[in-house]
Amino acid sequence: MKTLFASLVLSAALATPTLAQPGQDLTRLLTTFESYAEKSRQQWETPGMAVALIINDRVVYSKGFGVRQAGGTEPVTPETLFQIGSISKSFTSAMVAQLVDEHKLSWTDHVSDSFPDFRMFDPWVTREFTVEDTMSQRSGMPAYAGDLLAFMGRDRDQILAAMRHIQPVTSFRSQFAYVNNLWLAAAKVIEKQTGQSWEDNVRRRLFVPIGMTSSNTGLEGLYSTPNHASPHIQGRSGVMPLGRDWPFARWVYTYGPAGGINSNVLDMARYARVQMHGTLEGKTLLSPASLDRLHAPHVYAGGSPKSPATSIPEVGSLSYCMGWLRQQVRPVPIVWHNGGTTGCKAVVGLVPDSDIAIVVLTNLGGTDLPEALMYKFYDLYLGRPDQDYSSQFLHTQKARKEPSPVRPNPALPPLALARYVGTYVNPAYGTAQVEVAGNGLKLTLGGTLSAQCSPWNRDTFSFEDFISPTEPPQLVTFRLDASGAVNALELPFAADSQAGLFLRTASTP
pLDDT tens digits for range 425-460: 999 999 999 999 999 999 999 888 999 999 999 999
Q: What is the mean pLDDT of residues 270-287?
A: 97
Distance in angstroms (rounded) separating the CA atoms of residues 362 and 216: 17
Range of lowest pLDDT (321-335, 372-386, 495-509): 495-509
Number of C-beta neighbours around residue 330 at 10 A: 10
- Look at residue 306 and tell me whether its pLDDT is greater than 50: no
Looking at residue 315, what is its pLDDT? 65
- pLDDT value of position 199: 98
Residue 377: per-residue pLDDT: 98
The model's confidence at residue 239, banded by pLDDT at 50, 70 and 90, is: very high
Kindly give, in sequence order, each residue whose CB lies less than 8 Å from that of residue 337, ignoring residues fewer than 6 positions away: 86, 87, 89, 90, 323, 324, 325, 347, 348
The model's confidence at residue 9, banded by pLDDT at 50, 70 and 90, is very low
Which tens digits make up the pLDDT trace of 99-141? 999 999 999 999 999 999 999 999 999 999 999 999 999 999 9
Tens-place pLDDT, residues 346-374 = 999 999 999 999 999 999 999 999 999 99
Q: What is the pLDDT of residue 19?
A: 42
pLDDT at 264 over 60: yes
**What is d(CA 182, CA 255) in angstroms, rounded to the nearest whole number?**
10
Residue 214 has pLDDT above 50, yes or no: yes
So what's the pLDDT on residue 10? 25
Longest dimension (CA), the chain: 82
User: For position 166, what pLDDT does the model report?
Assistant: 97
- Quote the pLDDT of residue 312: 54
Identify the pLDDT of residue 23.
37
Residue 41 has pLDDT above 50, yes or no: yes
pLDDT tens-digit readout, 457-501 = 999 999 998 888 778 899 999 999 999 999 999 999 999 999 999
pLDDT category at 3 given cuts 50, 70, 90 is: very low
- The model's pTM is 0.92
Distance CA 178, CA 423 (A): 32
Question: How much of the chain exceeds pLDDT 90, in percent?
Answer: 85
Identify the bridge partners of residue 283 per DSSP, sorted by sequence position. Answer: 280
Output the average pLDDT for the chain. Answer: 92
Is residue 371 classed as helix, strand or coil in its secondary structure?
helix
List the strands of the sheet with 261-263, edge to edge.
82-83, 261-263, 216-217
pLDDT at 509: 56
pLDDT of residue 448: 86
Average pLDDT over residues 258-265: 98
pLDDT of residue 398: 83
Number of H helices, E strands in the chain: 17, 23
For the chain, domains (ranges, CATH) are 4-100+184-399 (3.40.710.10), 417-504 (2.40.128.600)
- Among candidate residues 230, 198, 252, the one with its CA nearest the CA of residue 361: 230
pLDDT digits (tens, 9 = 90+) for 151-186: 999 999 999 999 999 999 999 999 999 999 999 999
Residue 24's pLDDT is what? 55
Give the pLDDT confidence score for residue 335 in this predicted structure. Answer: 98
> Rounded CA gap, 131 and 413, in Å?
52
Amino acid identity of 99?
L
Q: Which residues contact 300 (CB under 8 A, 6 or more apart)?
A: 176, 317, 318, 319
